[in-house]
Structure 1
Amino acid sequence: MQGVTVVDHPLIQHKLTLMRDKNTSTASFRRLLFEISHLLCYETTRDLETEEVEIETPIQPMMAPKLSGKKLVFASVLRAGDGLLEGMLDLVPAARVAHIGLYRDPETLQPVEYYFKAPEDLSDRLVIVLDPMLATSNSVSAAVTKLKERGAHNIRFVCLLAAPEGVERFTKNHPDVPVVTAAIDERLNDHGYIVPGLGDAGDRMFGTK
Protein backbone atom coordinates (compact mmCIF):
# COMPACT_ATOMS: atom_id res chain seq x y z
CA MET A 1 0.00 0.00 0.00
CA GLN A 2 1.47 3.35 -1.06
CA GLY A 3 2.77 5.45 1.79
CA VAL A 4 2.61 2.58 4.28
CA THR A 5 5.62 0.58 5.51
CA VAL A 6 5.03 -2.69 7.38
CA VAL A 7 8.17 -3.55 9.34
CA ASP A 8 8.23 -7.33 9.25
CA HIS A 9 11.52 -7.83 11.09
CA PRO A 10 11.46 -11.18 12.96
CA LEU A 11 12.23 -9.55 16.31
CA ILE A 12 9.29 -7.18 15.93
CA GLN A 13 6.92 -9.94 14.90
CA HIS A 14 8.04 -12.14 17.82
CA LYS A 15 7.53 -9.36 20.37
CA LEU A 16 4.20 -8.41 18.82
CA THR A 17 2.98 -12.00 19.20
CA LEU A 18 3.84 -11.87 22.91
CA MET A 19 1.95 -8.58 23.24
CA ARG A 20 -1.14 -10.01 21.54
CA ASP A 21 -1.33 -12.85 24.10
CA LYS A 22 -4.05 -12.01 26.64
CA ASN A 23 -1.99 -13.68 29.37
CA THR A 24 0.94 -11.28 28.99
CA SER A 25 1.27 -9.18 32.15
CA THR A 26 1.07 -5.40 32.27
CA ALA A 27 4.79 -5.14 33.10
CA SER A 28 5.76 -7.41 30.22
CA PHE A 29 3.44 -5.57 27.83
CA ARG A 30 5.08 -2.24 28.67
CA ARG A 31 8.56 -3.69 28.28
CA LEU A 32 7.74 -5.26 24.92
CA LEU A 33 6.26 -2.01 23.63
CA PHE A 34 9.42 -0.19 24.76
CA GLU A 35 11.57 -2.70 22.87
CA ILE A 36 9.44 -2.62 19.71
CA SER A 37 9.51 1.18 19.67
CA HIS A 38 13.30 1.01 19.37
CA LEU A 39 13.02 -1.12 16.26
CA LEU A 40 10.28 1.03 14.73
CA CYS A 41 12.36 4.13 15.44
CA TYR A 42 15.23 2.75 13.36
CA GLU A 43 12.94 2.30 10.37
CA THR A 44 11.22 5.67 10.72
CA THR A 45 14.47 7.64 11.01
CA ARG A 46 16.59 5.74 8.49
CA ASP A 47 16.71 8.69 6.07
CA LEU A 48 17.40 11.54 8.51
CA GLU A 49 19.72 14.12 7.00
CA THR A 50 23.33 14.22 8.14
CA GLU A 51 26.28 16.52 7.61
CA GLU A 52 30.02 15.93 7.75
CA VAL A 53 31.77 17.42 10.77
CA GLU A 54 35.40 17.37 11.77
CA ILE A 55 36.27 15.38 14.89
CA GLU A 56 39.41 13.90 16.35
CA THR A 57 39.52 10.23 17.30
CA PRO A 58 42.20 8.90 19.68
CA ILE A 59 44.13 8.01 16.51
CA GLN A 60 43.68 10.95 14.12
CA PRO A 61 41.34 13.71 12.88
CA MET A 62 38.54 12.74 10.50
CA MET A 63 35.31 13.93 8.89
CA ALA A 64 32.30 12.00 10.21
CA PRO A 65 28.49 12.15 9.80
CA LYS A 66 26.30 13.90 12.35
CA LEU A 67 22.58 14.64 12.33
CA SER A 68 21.88 18.01 10.75
CA GLY A 69 19.07 20.53 11.12
CA LYS A 70 16.82 21.18 14.09
CA LYS A 71 16.02 18.42 16.55
CA LEU A 72 13.00 16.31 15.60
CA VAL A 73 9.73 16.20 17.52
CA PHE A 74 7.95 13.12 18.87
CA ALA A 75 4.22 13.86 19.11
CA SER A 76 2.48 11.46 21.48
CA VAL A 77 -1.27 10.96 21.13
CA LEU A 78 -2.29 10.49 24.77
CA ARG A 79 -2.37 8.29 26.55
CA ALA A 80 -1.23 5.17 24.72
CA GLY A 81 1.24 7.10 22.56
CA ASP A 82 3.48 7.48 25.60
CA GLY A 83 4.23 3.77 25.40
CA LEU A 84 6.01 4.33 22.08
CA LEU A 85 7.42 7.67 23.20
CA GLU A 86 9.56 6.20 25.97
CA GLY A 87 11.47 3.90 23.63
CA MET A 88 11.84 6.57 20.95
CA LEU A 89 13.34 9.02 23.45
CA ASP A 90 15.70 6.33 24.65
CA LEU A 91 17.26 6.37 21.16
CA VAL A 92 16.86 10.09 20.46
CA PRO A 93 17.06 11.75 23.89
CA ALA A 94 17.55 15.25 22.45
CA ALA A 95 14.21 15.20 20.60
CA ARG A 96 11.47 17.66 21.53
CA VAL A 97 8.11 16.26 22.64
CA ALA A 98 4.55 17.27 21.82
CA HIS A 99 1.48 15.90 23.62
CA ILE A 100 -1.96 15.68 22.04
CA GLY A 101 -4.80 14.66 24.33
CA LEU A 102 -7.67 12.98 22.53
CA TYR A 103 -10.22 10.41 23.58
CA ARG A 104 -12.72 8.51 21.47
CA ASP A 105 -16.39 9.12 22.18
CA PRO A 106 -17.79 5.59 22.72
CA GLU A 107 -21.04 6.45 20.93
CA THR A 108 -19.82 8.33 17.86
CA LEU A 109 -16.22 6.99 17.79
CA GLN A 110 -15.19 10.58 17.04
CA PRO A 111 -12.16 12.19 18.74
CA VAL A 112 -12.60 14.77 21.49
CA GLU A 113 -9.58 16.99 22.21
CA TYR A 114 -8.73 17.84 25.81
CA TYR A 115 -5.03 18.81 25.66
CA PHE A 116 -2.44 20.12 23.20
CA LYS A 117 1.13 21.23 23.92
CA ALA A 118 3.90 21.39 21.32
CA PRO A 119 7.10 23.28 20.47
CA GLU A 120 6.45 26.55 18.65
CA ASP A 121 8.66 26.02 15.59
CA LEU A 122 7.07 22.86 14.18
CA SER A 123 7.48 24.10 10.63
CA ASP A 124 11.26 23.69 10.90
CA ARG A 125 11.21 20.15 12.31
CA LEU A 126 10.41 16.58 11.40
CA VAL A 127 7.41 15.57 13.52
CA ILE A 128 6.88 11.87 14.24
CA VAL A 129 3.37 11.15 15.54
CA LEU A 130 3.05 8.18 17.92
CA ASP A 131 -0.06 6.11 18.66
CA PRO A 132 0.07 2.30 19.04
CA MET A 133 -3.27 1.60 17.35
CA LEU A 134 -4.55 2.84 13.99
CA ALA A 135 -8.16 1.68 14.26
CA THR A 136 -10.81 4.07 12.90
CA SER A 137 -8.03 6.65 12.34
CA ASN A 138 -10.29 9.40 13.69
CA SER A 139 -8.05 10.33 16.62
CA VAL A 140 -4.71 10.30 14.83
CA SER A 141 -6.19 12.11 11.81
CA ALA A 142 -7.40 14.83 14.15
CA ALA A 143 -3.99 14.95 15.84
CA VAL A 144 -2.18 15.36 12.52
CA THR A 145 -4.64 18.05 11.44
CA LYS A 146 -3.93 19.94 14.67
CA LEU A 147 -0.17 19.69 14.11
CA LYS A 148 -0.56 20.98 10.56
CA GLU A 149 -2.58 23.92 11.87
CA ARG A 150 0.40 24.72 14.11
CA GLY A 151 2.75 24.76 11.10
CA ALA A 152 4.03 21.18 10.84
CA HIS A 153 4.43 19.95 7.28
CA ASN A 154 7.10 17.24 7.54
CA ILE A 155 5.17 14.57 9.43
CA ARG A 156 5.41 10.78 9.82
CA PHE A 157 3.14 8.45 11.76
CA VAL A 158 4.25 5.38 13.72
CA CYS A 159 1.89 2.76 15.12
CA LEU A 160 2.13 -0.78 16.38
CA LEU A 161 -1.01 -2.19 14.76
CA ALA A 162 -3.33 -0.96 12.02
CA ALA A 163 -6.70 -1.97 10.62
CA PRO A 164 -7.22 -1.80 6.83
CA GLU A 165 -10.13 0.60 7.34
CA GLY A 166 -7.96 2.92 9.43
CA VAL A 167 -5.10 2.85 6.94
CA GLU A 168 -7.47 3.69 4.08
CA ARG A 169 -9.07 6.60 5.90
CA PHE A 170 -5.83 8.01 7.26
CA THR A 171 -4.01 7.92 3.91
CA LYS A 172 -7.04 9.55 2.29
CA ASN A 173 -7.14 12.33 4.91
CA HIS A 174 -3.35 12.81 5.00
CA PRO A 175 -1.78 11.39 1.82
CA ASP A 176 1.40 13.35 2.55
CA VAL A 177 2.08 11.56 5.86
CA PRO A 178 3.95 8.21 5.62
CA VAL A 179 2.82 5.43 7.96
CA VAL A 180 5.16 2.95 9.66
CA THR A 181 3.55 -0.03 11.41
CA ALA A 182 4.43 -3.51 12.63
CA ALA A 183 1.29 -5.16 11.21
CA ILE A 184 -1.98 -4.58 9.36
CA ASP A 185 -4.65 -6.84 10.85
CA GLU A 186 -7.90 -8.22 9.41
CA ARG A 187 -10.56 -5.62 10.17
CA LEU A 188 -12.39 -3.49 12.73
CA ASN A 189 -15.25 -4.92 14.79
CA ASP A 190 -18.53 -3.14 15.55
CA HIS A 191 -16.96 -1.42 18.56
CA GLY A 192 -14.05 0.03 16.56
CA TYR A 193 -11.44 -2.40 17.88
CA ILE A 194 -8.82 -4.03 15.67
CA VAL A 195 -9.35 -7.77 15.02
CA PRO A 196 -7.54 -9.93 16.04
CA GLY A 197 -5.55 -7.03 17.55
CA LEU A 198 -4.35 -7.03 21.14
CA GLY A 199 -7.16 -5.28 22.98
CA ASP A 200 -6.93 -1.71 24.22
CA ALA A 201 -3.24 -0.75 24.22
CA GLY A 202 -3.68 1.93 26.87
CA ASP A 203 -5.52 -0.37 29.25
CA ARG A 204 -3.01 -3.14 28.82
CA MET A 205 -0.09 -0.75 29.23
CA PHE A 206 -1.37 0.87 32.41
CA GLY A 207 -3.38 -1.98 33.92
CA THR A 208 -6.75 -0.20 33.60
CA LYS A 209 -10.10 -1.11 32.08
Structure 2
Amino acid sequence: MHVHVADHPLISHKLTLLRDKTTDSPTFRRLADELVTLLAYEATRDVRVVPVEVTTPVAQTHGVRLSEPRPLVVPILRAGLGMLEGMQRLIPTAEVGFLGMVRNEETLHPVTYAERLPDDLTGRQCYVLDPMLATGGSLSAAMHFLIQRGADHIVAITLLAAPEGIARLEADLASVEVPVTLVTAGLDEKLNELGYIVPGLGDAGDRLYGVAD
Protein backbone atom coordinates (compact mmCIF):
# COMPACT_ATOMS: atom_id res chain seq x y z
CA MET A 1 0.00 0.00 0.00
CA HIS A 2 1.25 3.45 -0.91
CA VAL A 3 0.56 6.34 1.46
CA HIS A 4 0.60 9.92 0.18
CA VAL A 5 0.27 12.79 2.65
CA ALA A 6 -0.59 15.83 0.55
CA ASP A 7 1.81 18.70 1.14
CA HIS A 8 0.32 21.99 0.01
CA PRO A 9 -0.21 25.29 1.87
CA LEU A 10 -3.89 25.49 0.87
CA ILE A 11 -4.51 21.96 2.11
CA SER A 12 -2.82 22.74 5.42
CA HIS A 13 -4.79 25.98 5.75
CA LYS A 14 -8.17 24.35 5.18
CA LEU A 15 -7.33 21.42 7.44
CA THR A 16 -6.43 23.86 10.23
CA LEU A 17 -9.84 25.52 9.92
CA LEU A 18 -11.54 22.12 9.97
CA ARG A 19 -9.77 21.24 13.21
CA ASP A 20 -11.01 24.39 14.97
CA LYS A 21 -13.85 23.43 17.32
CA THR A 22 -15.54 26.80 16.72
CA THR A 23 -16.04 26.07 12.99
CA ASP A 24 -19.79 25.58 12.48
CA SER A 25 -21.36 22.82 10.35
CA PRO A 26 -22.07 24.89 7.20
CA THR A 27 -18.48 26.18 7.17
CA PHE A 28 -17.15 22.71 7.97
CA ARG A 29 -19.07 21.23 5.00
CA ARG A 30 -17.75 23.91 2.65
CA LEU A 31 -14.16 23.46 3.78
CA ALA A 32 -14.38 19.67 3.54
CA ASP A 33 -15.76 20.01 0.02
CA GLU A 34 -12.91 22.31 -1.02
CA LEU A 35 -10.30 20.14 0.65
CA VAL A 36 -11.53 16.97 -1.08
CA THR A 37 -11.27 18.64 -4.48
CA LEU A 38 -7.64 19.50 -3.75
CA LEU A 39 -6.95 15.95 -2.55
CA ALA A 40 -8.69 14.53 -5.60
CA TYR A 41 -6.07 16.08 -7.89
CA GLU A 42 -3.45 14.00 -6.09
CA ALA A 43 -5.66 10.91 -5.91
CA THR A 44 -6.42 10.82 -9.64
CA ARG A 45 -2.85 10.98 -10.94
CA ASP A 46 -3.18 7.39 -12.15
CA VAL A 47 -6.76 7.58 -13.40
CA ARG A 48 -7.02 5.55 -16.60
CA VAL A 49 -7.27 7.36 -19.91
CA VAL A 50 -7.22 6.45 -23.58
CA PRO A 51 -5.79 8.47 -26.49
CA VAL A 52 -8.21 10.35 -28.74
CA GLU A 53 -8.04 12.81 -31.59
CA VAL A 54 -9.84 16.12 -31.30
CA THR A 55 -10.45 18.91 -33.77
CA THR A 56 -9.82 22.38 -32.39
CA PRO A 57 -10.98 25.57 -34.17
CA VAL A 58 -7.51 25.63 -35.72
CA ALA A 59 -6.35 22.07 -36.35
CA GLN A 60 -6.56 18.43 -35.37
CA THR A 61 -4.55 17.26 -32.38
CA HIS A 62 -4.12 14.41 -29.93
CA GLY A 63 -5.50 14.22 -26.42
CA VAL A 64 -6.90 11.78 -23.87
CA ARG A 65 -10.23 11.02 -22.24
CA LEU A 66 -11.28 8.83 -19.34
CA SER A 67 -11.38 5.19 -20.33
CA GLU A 68 -14.26 2.76 -19.93
CA PRO A 69 -15.47 1.56 -17.54
CA ARG A 70 -15.62 4.89 -15.77
CA PRO A 71 -14.13 5.30 -12.30
CA LEU A 72 -16.41 4.39 -9.40
CA VAL A 73 -16.58 6.75 -6.42
CA VAL A 74 -17.66 5.07 -3.19
CA PRO A 75 -18.41 7.26 -0.17
CA ILE A 76 -18.70 5.38 3.11
CA LEU A 77 -21.95 6.53 4.73
CA ARG A 78 -22.67 8.77 6.42
CA ALA A 79 -19.64 11.01 6.77
CA GLY A 80 -18.28 10.10 3.34
CA LEU A 81 -21.25 11.86 1.74
CA GLY A 82 -19.71 15.15 2.81
CA MET A 83 -16.79 14.41 0.48
CA LEU A 84 -18.78 13.32 -2.56
CA GLU A 85 -19.51 16.67 -4.17
CA GLY A 86 -15.86 17.72 -4.01
CA MET A 87 -14.88 14.52 -5.80
CA GLN A 88 -17.65 14.81 -8.39
CA ARG A 89 -16.55 18.34 -9.18
CA LEU A 90 -13.28 16.92 -10.46
CA ILE A 91 -14.70 13.79 -12.14
CA PRO A 92 -18.33 14.58 -12.97
CA THR A 93 -18.67 11.55 -15.27
CA ALA A 94 -17.63 9.04 -12.59
CA GLU A 95 -20.25 6.61 -11.37
CA VAL A 96 -21.19 6.61 -7.70
CA GLY A 97 -21.84 3.68 -5.38
CA PHE A 98 -22.59 3.72 -1.68
CA LEU A 99 -21.40 1.63 1.22
CA GLY A 100 -22.97 2.07 4.64
CA MET A 101 -20.66 1.17 7.50
CA VAL A 102 -20.73 2.14 11.15
CA ARG A 103 -18.23 1.54 13.91
CA ASN A 104 -19.42 -0.33 16.98
CA GLU A 105 -18.23 2.03 19.70
CA GLU A 106 -17.72 -0.85 22.16
CA THR A 107 -15.77 -3.26 19.95
CA LEU A 108 -14.50 -0.60 17.48
CA HIS A 109 -15.31 -3.12 14.71
CA PRO A 110 -17.14 -2.02 11.52
CA VAL A 111 -20.68 -3.16 10.78
CA THR A 112 -22.06 -2.99 7.21
CA TYR A 113 -25.70 -1.91 7.15
CA ALA A 114 -26.24 -0.94 3.50
CA GLU A 115 -24.61 -1.16 0.06
CA ARG A 116 -25.47 0.05 -3.40
CA LEU A 117 -22.72 -1.16 -5.71
CA PRO A 118 -22.47 -3.08 -9.00
CA ASP A 119 -22.22 -6.83 -8.50
CA ASP A 120 -19.26 -6.99 -10.88
CA LEU A 121 -16.43 -4.48 -10.50
CA THR A 122 -14.01 -6.24 -12.83
CA GLY A 123 -11.60 -3.74 -14.35
CA ARG A 124 -12.87 -0.85 -12.23
CA GLN A 125 -10.82 1.83 -10.54
CA CYS A 126 -12.50 2.70 -7.24
CA TYR A 127 -12.12 5.84 -5.15
CA VAL A 128 -13.25 5.36 -1.56
CA LEU A 129 -14.20 8.44 0.46
CA ASP A 130 -14.02 8.37 4.27
CA PRO A 131 -13.06 11.47 6.28
CA MET A 132 -11.20 9.70 9.08
CA LEU A 133 -8.82 6.73 9.00
CA ALA A 134 -8.81 5.94 12.72
CA THR A 135 -8.68 2.25 13.65
CA GLY A 136 -8.76 1.30 9.96
CA GLY A 137 -11.49 -1.29 10.39
CA SER A 138 -14.15 0.36 8.23
CA LEU A 139 -11.79 1.27 5.41
CA SER A 140 -10.19 -2.17 5.42
CA ALA A 141 -13.59 -3.86 5.27
CA ALA A 142 -14.69 -1.54 2.44
CA MET A 143 -11.58 -2.29 0.40
CA HIS A 144 -11.97 -6.04 0.79
CA PHE A 145 -15.62 -5.70 -0.19
CA LEU A 146 -14.63 -3.95 -3.44
CA ILE A 147 -11.78 -6.36 -4.17
CA GLN A 148 -14.07 -9.35 -3.73
CA ARG A 149 -16.30 -7.89 -6.43
CA GLY A 150 -13.40 -7.50 -8.85
CA ALA A 151 -12.02 -3.98 -8.36
CA ASP A 152 -8.40 -3.94 -9.57
CA HIS A 153 -7.24 -0.52 -8.35
CA ILE A 154 -8.32 1.32 -5.20
CA VAL A 155 -7.53 4.81 -3.94
CA ALA A 156 -8.81 5.91 -0.53
CA ILE A 157 -9.16 9.61 0.22
CA THR A 158 -9.27 10.77 3.84
CA LEU A 159 -9.04 14.11 5.57
CA LEU A 160 -6.97 12.65 8.41
CA ALA A 161 -5.22 9.40 9.22
CA ALA A 162 -3.76 7.85 12.37
CA PRO A 163 -0.65 5.64 12.40
CA GLU A 164 -2.69 2.79 13.91
CA GLY A 165 -5.14 2.91 11.01
CA ILE A 166 -2.39 2.86 8.41
CA ALA A 167 -0.73 -0.09 10.16
CA ARG A 168 -4.06 -1.95 10.18
CA LEU A 169 -4.56 -1.38 6.47
CA GLU A 170 -1.02 -2.48 5.64
CA ALA A 171 -1.47 -5.67 7.65
CA ASP A 172 -4.93 -6.46 6.27
CA LEU A 173 -3.86 -5.83 2.67
CA ALA A 174 -0.46 -7.51 2.84
CA SER A 175 -1.61 -10.51 0.79
CA VAL A 176 -3.71 -8.50 -1.66
CA GLU A 177 -2.28 -8.04 -5.15
CA VAL A 178 -4.59 -5.16 -6.06
CA PRO A 179 -2.72 -1.83 -5.91
CA VAL A 180 -4.00 0.37 -3.08
CA THR A 181 -3.15 4.01 -2.38
CA LEU A 182 -4.12 6.20 0.56
CA VAL A 183 -4.24 9.95 -0.04
CA THR A 184 -4.73 12.06 3.09
CA ALA A 185 -4.46 15.69 4.10
CA GLY A 186 -2.75 14.89 7.38
CA LEU A 187 -1.12 12.13 9.40
CA ASP A 188 -1.86 12.71 13.08
CA GLU A 189 -0.18 11.56 16.28
CA LYS A 190 -2.25 8.64 17.59
CA LEU A 191 -5.62 7.29 18.66
CA ASN A 192 -6.95 7.91 22.16
CA GLU A 193 -8.58 5.29 24.36
CA LEU A 194 -11.93 5.86 22.63
CA GLY A 195 -10.49 5.27 19.18
CA TYR A 196 -10.55 8.92 18.11
CA ILE A 197 -7.71 10.56 16.22
CA VAL A 198 -5.51 12.93 18.26
CA PRO A 199 -5.34 15.88 17.75
CA GLY A 200 -7.91 15.14 15.04
CA LEU A 201 -10.99 17.24 14.40
CA GLY A 202 -13.69 15.43 16.36
CA ASP A 203 -16.46 13.29 14.87
CA ALA A 204 -16.54 14.20 11.18
CA GLY A 205 -20.13 13.02 10.68
CA ASP A 206 -21.43 15.09 13.58
CA ARG A 207 -19.51 18.15 12.48
CA LEU A 208 -20.74 17.80 8.91
CA TYR A 209 -24.40 17.20 9.67
CA GLY A 210 -24.96 17.94 13.35
CA VAL A 211 -26.14 15.54 16.02
CA ALA A 212 -29.67 14.18 15.62
CA ASP A 213 -31.49 13.82 18.95
* Alignment TM-score, normalising by the size of structure 1: 0.95
The residue number in structure 2 matching 1:136 is: 135
Q: Is the 8 A contact 2:136 2:166 kept in 1?
A: yes
**1:106 aligned partner:** 105
Shift of 1:69: 3.0
Q: Which residue of structure 2 aligns with residue 7 of structure 1? A: 6
1:192 aligns with 2:203: no
Paired position in structure 1 for 2:57: 58
Query: Distance between the aligned counterparts of 2:191 and 2:14, measured in 1?
Result: 22
State the match for 2:171 in structure 1. Answer: 172
1:201 lines up with 2:209 in the alignment: no
SS of the aligned residue for 2:36 comes to: helix
Tell me the CA shift for residue 125 of structure 1. Answer: 1.1
> Can you give the 5+ residue segments of structure 2 that lack an aligned partner in the other structure?
none
Q: 1:186, CA displacement in angstroms?
A: 0.5
Deviations 1:24-62 (A, max 9, x none): 010000000000111111001112233321211111222
Question: How far apart in 1 are the matches of 2:79 and 2:147?
Answer: 21
Q: Distance in 1 between matches of 2:170 and 2:153?
A: 15
Quote the offset at 1:152 in angstroms. Answer: 1.5
SS in 1 for 2:122: helix
Give the secondary structure class of the aligned counterpart of 1:183: coil
Question: How many equivalent residue pairs?
Answer: 208
How far the C-alpha of 1:133 sits from its partner, in A, is 0.1
Task: Provide the TM-score with structure 2 as the length reference.
Answer: 0.93
Greater shift, 72-81 or 149-158, is seen at 149-158
Unaligned stretches of 5+ in structure 1? Answer: none
AA matched with 2:168: R
Cα distance change of structure 1 residues 151 and 51 upon mapping to structure 2, 3 Å threshold: closer
Cα distance in 2 for partners of 1:139, 1:47 equals 24
Determine if contact 1:50/1:68 at 8 Å carries over to the other structure.
yes
1:146 positional shift: 1.3
Tell me, yes or no, if the aligned pair for 1:171 and 1:177 is still in contact at 8 Å.
no
Q: Determine what percentage of the aligned residue pairs are the same residue.
A: 51
Which digits, 9 at most, give the CA deviation of each residue in 1:164-205, with x for residues without a partner? 101111121124421111111000000000000000000000
Ranges of 4+ aligned residues in structure 1 off by more than 6 Å: none
Q: How far 1:157 moved relative to its partner? A: 1.0
Let me know the Cα RMSD of the aligned residues: 1.3
Does the CA contact (< 8 Å) of 2:124 and 2:150 recur in 1? no
Distance (whole Å) between structure 2 residues aligned to residue 109 and residue 51 of structure 1? 42
Compared CA separation, residues 135 and 16, structure 1 to 2 (3 A) = same
Cα drift, residue 117 of structure 1: 1.1
2:18 aligned residue: 19
